[in-house]
Chain A
């Protein structure tokens, strides 16, 4: 049996195209691995933001203050210290509270590095009795966001 040049050419093309296909298919798990690493890192960052929100909000709630839609968004770091994330954080806390409460907690404003992260927390005070309030519980929902990933911490407690 004699193999013609046309057959060799066809065989070559077939192997080349098959190899290309195999390369593309086998590259998928590598890409997935890289994406997975990135997601693990991003989700860690989102979780730390959620934990921070929870820590601050629980401190406020223990001090008998009510926070609604408290948020911290560090999108404008650098430059004027009054525009630093720290100041924004403080202002947004204060805007939900009275001056007296505001004076009690003042964050030292220090310029920080650029991030595009957001902490949001909501707090609800639910009265469990009618008439005299003798007990209540506090529910904190803190959402840490980082690059499209969200970590939500839901925390209930009796102060």
Chain B
């Protein structure tokens, strides 16, 4: 009996107090977990964008290298593509269509320059200089000396977020200074 009385005499917490404590604890856990998830999401987004940017770098680097050593450039489709001969004289085409940038080399299968899962091409405009001459004796007389590509891209994350990337790329083909076109 004595032990029973001592328990009764001890003043504990009421249900209301306990409820408030649990509620506050849940609130704190919810807040922290939400922030933690946001942090993870931001990190994933950064990683996705970084991957897409690397893909853009890779694609533009490829285009730059191929154009740099190419021959006989001709802008096609009102500036949305270019046809030329690669270093080994293979006829090559780069063309923008259906939000993708296609690359075709000779009879090989057409591939995309950028990964469609990571990069959406909104627009591509290609411009070249046109030397004002009727002389066609030497290649350098009529060969374009500069090619400028305007990219309007959209990089994508797996969660659906997108970010615009607009830039330009200039390429001065090395072979345009030669007198003989080795591919003709």
Query: Among the interface residues B28, B125, B155, which one has the most CB atoms of the partner chain A within 10 A?
Result: B125
Let me know if B53 is at the binding interface, CB within 8 A: yes
B49 within 8 A of A: yes
B132 near A106 with CB under 8 A, answer yes
CB distance from A39 to the nearest CB of B (A): 11
CA distance A8 to B79 in the complex (A): 72
In the complex, the chain B residue whose C-beta lies closest to that of A102 is B132
Give the tally of cross-chain contacts (CB within 8 A): 126
Q: Is the CB of A19 within 8 A of B168?
A: no
A3 to B32, CA, bound (A): 27
Which B residues are closer than 8 A to A by beta carbons?
A: 11, 13, 17, 20, 24, 27-28, 31-32, 35, 38-39, 42-43, 45-46, 49-50, 53, 56-57, 60, 75, 78-79, 122-123, 125, 127-132, 145-146, 148, 150, 152, 155, 163, 165-172
Q: Are B148 and A105 in contact (CB under 8 A)?
A: no
> Are B171 and A33 touching (Cβ within 8 A)?
no
* Chain B proximity mask over A10-46: 1 for CB below 8 Å, otherwise 0: 0110010001001100110110011011101100110
Docked CA distance A85–B159 (Å): 35
Report if A59-B172 is in contact (Cβ < 8 Å); known contacts: A12-B20, A105-B129.
Answer: yes
